Structure 1
Amino acid sequence: MWTIILVAVAALATSGAAVWVLDLRSTHADVDDRLVLARQELRRLADEGVDPVSGLPLSDPTQVLQTYMAHSVLGSGEGQLGMVDGAVRLVSAEGVDLRPEADAELVARLTELAEADVSTITTVDTSAGRYRVLVVPLTDGTTTAALVRAVDLDAAEAGLWRTMRLYAAAALVTVALVAALAWLGIGRLLRPIWELRNATESIDERDLTTRVRVRGHDDLSALAAAVNRMLDRVQRAVGAQRELLDDVGHELRTPITVVRGHLELIDPEDPEDVRQTSALALDELDRMSTLVGNLLELARSSQSDFVTPEPTDVEALTGQVFDKARALGERRWRLEACATGTAMLDPARLTQAWLQLAANAVKYSEEDSRIWLGSAIRPGDVADAAIPGGGSTASGASGLVAAEGPELHVWVRDEGIGIAAADLERVRRRFARTAPAQRRAAGSGLGLSIVENIVGAHGGRLDIASEPGRGSTFTLRIPLRSPEQARPTQQKETSEPA
């Protein structure tokens, strides 16, 4: 509140000072203009040398002064006198407010100025007051006369002082009103900040659920909403950290227990037992190494800088991934469709996710079965039926939602063991594997989690369509956000040989 009052006082003081300076300059300029006009009129009268009323000639400077002073009009706070040969000879008529001849200090100063050869406009300070004076000397070679016009500056500035006193009174009333309004409104204005402070102080690693109430649409409301979004991110990060620690503790405990148990029971005198135990320990350590590598990759995939998008030729990337996938196993590989155009994505990470899906297709399918890879540009709507394959479908956790623009779809379709509809969401979880998958091949259950993090970092999602015994289709849907980020041109279909 005090800050508001100080700002108001400073603003009013600055405005008052500006008004004072400007009006003071205007007042002094007006006084000087009147003195200059008086000098011009006297010079004109002296140059003409004729009385404007009687028409008689003016023979000497004294007559010029008498004629001018007789016909000039003095304003409030003005006075004049005439000096001849250094002495006061002419004064204003009765009724004039200012009598310069009554101030001895002023007369002494004017006597000095009257002896000069040029006219002078200057300020003279005496014990009686402050004056702005005009001294115009006239001479004909024998007589020297001088007109003195004086203006009382204190009287001229009296109106300005009255104005400033009124301004000061109005400023005091304004400051009082500002203080009252600040006192009444400070609570309502600062309430969101108090709530924000209380909310942040109540948050710790054990409770991240507190949120700030958002009221209205002002800047403080936007700040509260931003803090809530930040708390959401912190809560997700802490939850992911806890989940990762739980997973690591759970999954690594088993191989450690197995290795320890066999080492404790080993018979060092039996070479065969030593050989079998060594092979088992090495196998478990290899599994642990693979598991730790997957966990590290999963942790890195949750970081904001995990992907580095760049303009990528989708057609070339599709061909490269297809060539790499064919080396994963003896299958009948088919390139089902190939999109052409440029997309903003991280080609290395998308290749990693795509090949992970291809590796899963090899792992859970028979030799000589068919595996299809493809890419396509699709409209931003729910178009799973447009991708070859069928069966039950599972999208991201948020369900199937329409996108705002075109999407790049890349997929892997196989003729493997398939996934039951009840297990479609389960296979997305870390370390979660279905019973048929466990019987079919070994694995850590982290592959799909890494894939989902990669596609999520691109702003997309993973769709799964599967039917037990007939195969599965895994589709990565990546939005093409703008023409500058992706300029798809066309899509060409690749026919499958008979």
Structure 2
Amino acid sequence: MNWRWHKFFLSAQTRILIWLGILIFLSVVISIFTIRQILSALLTERVQRSLEQEIEEVQRLIGGRNPSTGEPFGDDIASIFDVFLARSVPEDDEFFITLLNGEIYQTSPIALPDRLNERSSFLQSLAQVKHPQQGTKKIGWETIIYLAYPIETNGDGTSQGVFVVIQLLENKQREIDDAVLVAAKVIGLVMLVALGLAWVAIGRVLSPLKLLTETARSIHDVTQNLDQRIPIRGADEITELTMTFNQMLDRLQTSFATQREFINDASHEFQTPITVIRGHLDLLLVHLLDQTAPEMRDAVNLMHDELDRMSRLVDDLLLLAKAERPDFLSLELVDVDRLTQELHAKATALAPRNWQLASTVSIRIVADRQRITQAVMNLVQNAVEHTHPEDTIELGSKLTEDPTIKGICFWVRDTGIGIHPDDQVRIMQRFARATNTRRKSHGAGLGLAIVKAIAAAHGGRVSVSSKLGEGSQFNITIPLDPPQEATFR
């Protein structure tokens, strides 16, 4: 289940949707913040215009006549305030405050907030203004916008009034916040719906890629699955990728067909002339055994040896060519304990060495018995060629202790000359040899490459550990679970 969730979150469809969701979310957050700032700015501008309008009404009264007497107001500031407050009704959260000679004369509405009472230092400071003053102030936890307009009718300044109009922003700002919150909820819901639709749309766009992946994953048997092709729909980049993938499958199918034909032909055409030449050399050697000089017989024997070496080289190359084919392995149930003992018995017949059977494990695995035998015997032959008769060669099998692969380990350990650290990776390559060996190998440098190919065909691996002058150990690790593409006998 964890693997499925991990695959789900790492899929291209999910990652595209996550990035799309992040971009949409950031866009929504920035948009909502911007809208709130714009609405707040518009609110401030509207309140300022309302305050200025109230001041204009006061200014018109100052230059007008008292409706009660029909005479100009003159220096009767109290009458100006009385007429204005009688005629004007403040808006919600708006307050008219008239200050006369430093004291509150009247207010509309009569009840002021506690933070705007007559003992307020803010109002006391406004009572002393000499010029119109407008601004925004934070009183307690609330923000207000105010405009103070001084009125002086006596030249000596003995009678001074100040008209103050104040607008509280708390409720209006709360209305903006509520509207923004509702907008955020609606946008959030729309975003979720959009992401759901985007998930479906992304899935449809990426469906050819999923089909491409499934097709590539299904190609285990090159003799049966390479004829599959992905349907081509549309004319976008994914369609172009699909066409390219189908063309690649065409080339692979042709290449594998050519390879199979080459292997089948080579296995016959390469061996036939070698066999014919060897037969004629044997016949020539028999007829000229008593009539030919020793030098000629040595030359014939040398050609015979070279033909044998060429025959082994051809066999090894054909084996490596077949190693990548699904029919390379023929799986069966193998008793590891019995196989290890058989390998030890076969090894002791190769050369006089101090042969040791270190350990075996009583377990059965699904593997190709003949290929494992071939791989281990290649390691044994390699150990024989790099040791002396008095050296020890040890064979064994055990359960692996490596947590990355659960399986069986077959090993061959010797007390020979060892391998230089720089050569321990290189010797697994084809035609590679150790640089510190003084012995002549009869092979072509393909033995360890064959061992590696056999282990890889089983889904396993080959490792080596060695010290110069102390010997070497080669390990073949075969997993307990057989490869899916192999043929089960």
TM-score band w.r.t. shorter chain:
0.3 to 0.5
Q: TM-score, normalised by structure 2?
A: 0.44
Q: TM-score, normalised by structure 1?
A: 0.43
